[in-house]
Structure 1
Amino acid sequence: MPENRDLKKRTGTKDKILKVANTLFCNHGYKATSVRKIASEVGIRESALYNHFKNKEAIFLEVAKSIFNSPFSFKEDEIKELASRGKPFLQKFAMQYKMLTFDKKSESMFKLLIIELMQNEQLREQFMVQFHHNNIKTLSEAFFIMMQNNLIKSNDPMMVSYEFLSTLFYIRFQITLLRFDSKSADSLSTQFERHVDFFWESIKSS
């Protein structure tokens, strides 16, 4: 029992470190956020924080991982079920992307990631694997199922996935830039749905 309590305590502290670090990174940036500041906000000594993370970069990479992974986590049976219906899969994927785009914490972290991607090789590798490759894989599986069910035209599922995802990413990037300059992005809020409608019409079987 004591071991279980210790494990829960360690997990709880680690989660709190990540939550606090996320807020500090978003509010002050990566460089201006120190390990000492994170530890102080968590309410632990700096030395205690190193029991959970090797350094600040390790904390940042773990925080980034949660941003990359969320919310595109489809279970295998969910992919099959939605993809077998065609357009509903694309609608759900795009809606999750939209929710991520307009989530304030995710938006702040996304801005920071765009800056840090150019300076951190590990972050770039993490981005390519966890965000890019995983989403292309999920989409490719879905488009392949749609092709098997004659819902869409036969084509290279990976290339179709690139086409679908790239526009979503561009819309998100455009919205982030507008909001960074405190400009309204309301006119782009329906672009996600419009993209799905336009894309579906271009790939569906005749």
Structure 2
Amino acid sequence: MPKQKNTKQKIIDAAIELIAKQGYRGASVRKIAAAVGIRESAIYNHFRNKEEILKQIISEIFVTPFEFKDLEEKAKKGKSFLHQFVVAYKLISFDKKKEKLFRVLMIELFQNKGLRESFLQEFHQKDIQQLSKALFIMMQEGLIRSGDPMFMAQEFLAPLFYIRLQVSLLRIDSKSTAPIATQFEKHADFFWESVAL
């Protein structure tokens, strides 16, 4: 079993490199197999098709830092919980390989309906739901004012996505990202001040 897991990760790693260099269309299953050093048919032991490989990659690039165990206990920490989230989000945003793929996949999301639906259901909604649960717990604990936790979650996440987009736009033109490096933490502080009791 470990051998299969290892091969699956090799397929993902090879696909990441190829998609980052050649785009989704350019990274064929044949090329991915060649990069791994396996037959093309062997890929289908791990993935149904190329789109499934892409979905797996997206799950790593758009990974939610909210996949915490003991969400309730951590949410009770209020501001430090939000800081944990933005630091994890920041690390993902500044990871060069993930940032490069973020650009490629943003383009692909506009062109691929199935991928778009998968992203919205599996990643975007998952983040909103997890964050809204955490915010609701904070409300129950008397840490933040009462309100619509789903709306508050969207208000918290939207600027983070925008900052991540800025990182990509600056890197495309080889400009420094230093001026926005602290924006993640500043956003968490600003948000907390606007909702804290």
- The alignment's TM-score, normalised by the length of structure 2, stands at 0.94
**2 CA distance for matches of 1:187 and 1:62?**
32
Aligned length: 197
Q: Secondary structure at the match of 1:37?
A: helix
Which residue of the partner structure matches residue 44 of structure 2?
50
Shift of 1:97: 0.5
User: 57, 66, 86: which is aligned to 1:63?
Assistant: 57
**Aligned-residue CA RMSD (Å):** 1.4
Which residue of the partner structure matches residue 93 of structure 2?
101
**Structure 1: runs of 5+ lacking an equivalent:** 1-6
CA deviation profile, 1:64-87 (whole Å, cap 9, x unmatched): 222223544112x1x222211210
**1 CA distance for matches of 2:31 and 2:66?**
31
User: 172, 178, 200: which is aligned to 2:192?
Assistant: 200
Shift of 1:168: 0.7
Which has the larger Rg? 1
CA deviation profile, 1:18-76 (whole Å, cap 9, x unmatched): 1111111112211221222111110112222233333322222222222223544112x
- The alignment's TM-score, normalised by the length of structure 1, stands at 0.90
Q: Does 1:38 align with 2:32?
A: yes
Which residue of the partner structure matches residue 114 of structure 1?
106
Q: Does 1:16 align with 2:10?
A: yes
Moved more, 127-136 or 86-95: 127-136
Q: Secondary structure at the match of 2:186?
A: helix
In percent, how many aligned pairs have the same letter?
A: 54
CA deviation profile, 1:66-121 (whole Å, cap 9, x unmatched): 2223544112x1x2222112100100001110000001111011101110001111
Which residue of the partner structure matches residue 181 of structure 2?
189
Which residue of the partner structure matches residue 174 of structure 1?
166
CA deviation profile, 1:147-206 (whole Å, cap 9, x unmatched): 11111111111111110001111111111111112111110000001111111111101x
**Structure 2: runs of 5+ lacking an equivalent:** none
Which residue of the partner structure matches residue 4 of structure 1?
none
Q: Does 1:25 align with 2:25?
A: no
